[in-house]
Amino acid sequence: MRQKKNYGGELNFYLLKCLVALVDHSHVSRAAEALSVSQPAMSQLRAITGDPILVKGGSRLIPTAKALQLREFAERILGEMSDLLGNAVAFDPHSTRYQFRMVATDYLECLFMDRLVQHLGGRFPGIAMSVRHPVHPSEFSKVLESGEVDFAVGILPTSMRELRHRLLFRDRIVGVARAGHRAIGRTLSPAAFAALEHVVIMPNTTNTFGEAVDVALEAQGLERNRRFVTPNYITASHLLEKTDMVALLPLSLASRFRDRFGLAELALPVDVPEFEVHISWHDRTHRHAAHIWFRDQVMQSLDPRQQGIGMLRADTFIR
């Protein structure tokens, strides 16, 4: 049973195909059969164009002069539409110029982006990436929905749970200080830990990295002694090298900077769970060929089998 279609009295993409078929077949029934459309739709095409399209020519039907002219225009329009749709869907990373824009902290920019850059290497000269540091959590969905950025990389806020996302890796919070700090190797009470001079990392205006530790301390009526507050994880790592301040850092970052800045792990007086790092995107770009390709490259860059790229995946940490 053929589907009944309502064309609203206007030429559209499908009716243009009907016009071409009608002229080419010069037979209403055969043209209708070729396109699986009812004969009344062919009649509607005549009404819209103001032309019979086919007229008697001896023992058969032949297209009118206007129909032949309309067919020429229709074929050109259909070809242009096909090219347009094809170019919109197709994506060749070897020849296309495209910039992917991301929101990420400097911690993830340092830890994760270098693996992605190494993975892409020189194979895709037209592919570029840009990173901006996190906005207020309430703005994450907005900047993705508006197309201001393409991806958000980080700990997934509750406000972003409705977005598309994929787990990149897991990490955990550790206490860190310079290797010669008096607290290294000691078991500190929550009060003693809170009293130390802390570098507190606040990536945006409301969220503090290590919030799980703060919540555990607050339950005991304590809070960290905030000696220095910064939005930058790397700044915190630098400050620890020649001061007696301490900080909470992701284990993966602390491991990378351990030797460079002479850092050591400081035992935490509270238990904290692992946290997950995701890449998130809006549904508006979910089926975009370029974005599909890029998401695949992101996951491949974290594959431990990649030669020359340090291991970082969902179930392991850099030690």
Give residue 154's pLDDT.
Answer: 86
Give me 236's structure tokens. Answer: 């915190």
Strands 173-178 and 263-266: antiparallel
For range 108-136, the mean pLDDT: 88
| Mean pLDDT computed over every residue of the chain | 83
Q: Is 84 helix (H, G, I), strand (E, B) or coil?
A: helix
- How many angstroms separate the Cα of 6 from the Cα of each of 27, 81, 227? 22, 21, 70
Whether residue 5 is predicted with pLDDT greater than 50 in this model: the reply is: no
Using one digit for the tens of pLDDT, what is the confidence trace for 213-230? 999 999 999 999 999 999
Give residue 317's pLDDT.
Answer: 30
For range 80-100, the mean pLDDT: 76
Strands 246-250 and 197-201: parallel
Give residue 266's pLDDT.
Answer: 94
Spatial CB neighbours of 276, under 8 Å, sequence gap ≥ 6 = 155, 156, 167, 169, 170, 171
Give residue 307's pLDDT.
Answer: 44
For range 136-156, the mean pLDDT: 83
Whether residue 85 is predicted with pLDDT greater than 70 in this model: the reply is: no
Question: Which stretch of 78-87, 247-256, 305-314 has the lowest confidence by average pLDDT?
Answer: 305-314
Give me 125's structure tokens. Answer: 């000269």
Give residue 274's pLDDT.
Answer: 92
Give residue 86's pLDDT.
Answer: 55
Using one digit for the tens of pLDDT, what is the confidence trace for 191-200? 999 999 999 9
Give me 92's structure tokens. Answer: 């060749």
Whether residue 29 is predicted with pLDDT greater than 80 in this model: the reply is: no
For range 266-291, the mean pLDDT: 91
Is the CB of residue 64 less than 8 Å from the CB of residue 55? yes
Question: Which stretch of 33-37, 252-256, 275-279 has the lowest confidence by average pLDDT?
Answer: 33-37
Give residue 233's pLDDT.
Answer: 94
Q: Is 200 helix (H, G, I), strand (E, B) or coil?
A: strand
Q: Of residues 157 and 115, which shows the higher confidence score?
A: 115
Cβ of 68: how many Cβ atoms within 10 Å? 12
Is the CB of residue 102 less than 8 Å from the CB of residue 168? no
Reported confidence tier of residue 314, pLDDT bands at 50, 70, 90: very low
Whether residue 48 is predicted with pLDDT greater than 80 in this model: the reply is: yes
Task: Give the sign of the dihedral formed by CA 130, CA 133, CA 137, CA 142.
Answer: negative
Give percent of the chain with pLDDT exceeding 90: 45
Q: Of residues 313 and 240, which shows the higher confidence score?
A: 240
Give residue 84's pLDDT.
Answer: 64
Whether residue 94 is predicted with pLDDT greater than 60 in this model: the reply is: yes
pTM of the model: 0.68
Q: Of residues 274 and 88, which shows the higher confidence score?
A: 274
Give residue 76's pLDDT.
Answer: 87
Using one digit for the tens of pLDDT, what is the confidence trace for 238-275? 999 999 999 999 999 999 999 999 999 999 999 999 99
Give residue 30's pLDDT.
Answer: 66
Q: Helix H segments across 232-275?
A: 233-241, 251-261
The C-alpha atoms of residue 313 and residue 82 are separated, in whole angstroms, by 41
